[in-house]
Amino acid sequence: MNARPLAPITDEQVDTFWRDGATCVRGLFGNEWIEHMREAVEDDLANPGPLAREYAKGGGRFLGDIGAWAVKPGLRKFVEESPAAEIAARLLKSHKVNFLYDQLFVKEPGTAAITPWHQDGPYWPVRGDQILSIWFALDDVTVESSGVEYLKGSHRWGKEYRPVSFAGDTEMYKMLPGDTLPDIEAMRGQFEVMNWDMKAGDCLIHHCMTVHGAPGNASSTRRRRAYATRWTGDDVVYAPRDGQAAITIDKPGIEPGQPIDCAVFPRLWPR
């Protein structure tokens, strides 16, 4: 299976990521990785990891497994052996890359549950600018089948919003600082909203402060399986906050303010 990117990330893609806060990179992973990950995801759905959650309200199924790479060999293989770490290093313009954690997002056909608008950074126990996610589409996806949408340039608003619970639990992140994100849907016309029609193997790459969300999966036939991996670069330090939910099964055992190198957040680039 390919350990190197199928095609190099171009300077233009790097610039777009930093300017807009998100970009879609076509054909980043080939059939072998797509098939490998589809199998790994089915295994996870049949036997979810200890931090798995069901977010769905109403009909359908919206499952989000968190940190499962630590206990699932199929997911771990992707994290450790796929080109993802090298791709992250290139986009982050970083000499080294650590793996933060993984998150599986499956919205089955007819799942009404939206993914609420949010920024990722406030959920995570790290601080820094060189933090991104690679959202690997395992199915063809459009906005109708719950493609992720981004507010262009929102990573540079200089605002940190309090996390929201995907399951609608209003108590969950109460202790964390930050304003409540405004009602983006009501104000949608004021923003430049970015979304893409994607093929399996295409990836969304987004900065940790970019505001994003997704509608429900209105398709009656098409699944929407995606595997997000989160990567950090040179400037990132450990910065946990009271009230954050666990993103890893094991505790990292490092001190606040320190670089995050440890077994829980392994340095995976350079190899």
Ligand X SMILES: O=C(O)CCC(=O)C(=O)O
The nearest distance, CB 209 to ligand X, in angstroms, is 11
Quick one: which of 103, 124, 112 has its CA closest to 41?
103
| 105 counts as binding ligand X under rule CB under 6 A | yes
Q: Which amino acid is at 238?
A: Y
The nearest distance, CB 44 to ligand X, in angstroms, is 15
Distance CA 139, CA 105 (A): 12
CB 151, CB 212: distance < 8 Å: yes
Q: For ligand X, which is the closer residue by CB, 98 or 146?
A: 146
The nearest distance, CB 99 to ligand X, in angstroms, is 15
- Residues 6 or more apart whose Cβ sits within 8 Å of residue 95: 89, 233, 234, 270
Task: State which H helix or E strand residue 34 sits in.
Answer: helix 31-46
| 84 counts as binding ligand X under rule CB under 6 A | no
The nearest distance, CB 95 to ligand X, in angstroms, is 25
The nearest distance, CB 230 to ligand X, in angstroms, is 8
| 120 counts as binding ligand X under rule CB under 6 A | yes
CA dihedral (231, 87, 49, 245) in degrees, to 10, reads: 20
The residue within the footprint of ligand X, chosen from 56, 228, 236, 254 (CB under 6 A), is 228
| 217 counts as binding ligand X under rule CB under 6 A | no
Distance CA 259, CA 235 (A): 8
Q: For ligand X, which is the closer residue by CB, 24 or 226?
A: 226
The nearest distance, CB 212 to ligand X, in angstroms, is 6
Which residues, 130 to 159, sit near ligand X by CB under 6 A? 133, 135, 148
The residue within the footprint of ligand X, chosen from 115, 119, 219, 229 (CB under 6 A), is 115
Q: For ligand X, which is the closer residue by CB, 84 or 228?
A: 228
The residues pairing with 214 across neighbouring beta strands, listed in sequence order, are 115
CB 145, CB 267: distance < 8 Å: no
Residues forming the site for ligand X (CB under 6 A): 105, 115, 120, 133, 135, 148, 212, 214, 226, 228
